């Protein structure tokens, strides 16, 4: 059973992902508040997740791509086995979605998903990491 830390700023979306992953029976999801990077790091150190799933939005410094990548750098030093996965809304933020894709190409993240992905695909892809 994979432990997945979910740090998504939209609470409704975060709860939907949480419930969907929990219902599969293959995951042990836990919610990590998305705003404060140090708190995300502390909670992940305590929980030891296999995967950290975070959203990327232009709305705040912490959830911008630069902020998420800075946190990922810290996470890799502390929890090197944890896979770093980003989720972005490719319809609302197409340029941001391209930047996230480039981050994957550069090896800065382990995977990315668009918000329009189906729940089944998201679960299957996370299970394959």
- Domain limits, the chain: 2-128
pLDDT band of residue 106 (cuts 50, 70, 90) is: very high
19-63 residue pLDDT tens:
999 998 889 999 998 878 899 999 999 999 999 999 999 988 889
Q: What is the pTM of this model?
A: 0.94
What is the residue-averaged pLDDT of the chain?
94
Spatial CA neighbour of 28 closest among 3, 61, 63? 3
Q: Quick one: pLDDT at residue 128? A: 93
> In CATH terms, is domain 2-128 a member of 3.40.50.2300?
yes
40 CA to centre of own chain: 11
**% of the chain at pLDDT higher than 70:** 100
């Amino acid at each position: 059973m994979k432990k997945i830390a979910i740090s998504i700023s939209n609470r409704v979306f975060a709860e939907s992902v949480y419930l969907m992953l929990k219902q599969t029976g293959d995951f042990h999801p836990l919610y990590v508040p998305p705003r404060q990077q140090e708190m995300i790091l502390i909670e992940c150190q305590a929980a030891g997740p296999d995967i950290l799933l975070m959203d990327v939005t232009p709305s705040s410094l912490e959830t911008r791509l630069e902020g998420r990548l800075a946190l990922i750098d810290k996470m890799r030093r502390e929890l090197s086995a944890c896979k770093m996965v980003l989720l972005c809304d490719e319809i609302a933020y197409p340029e941001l979605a391209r930047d996230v894709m480039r981050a994957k190409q550069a090896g800065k993240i382990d995977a990315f998903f668009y918000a329009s992905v189906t729940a089944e695909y998201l679960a299957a892809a996370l299970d394959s990491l």
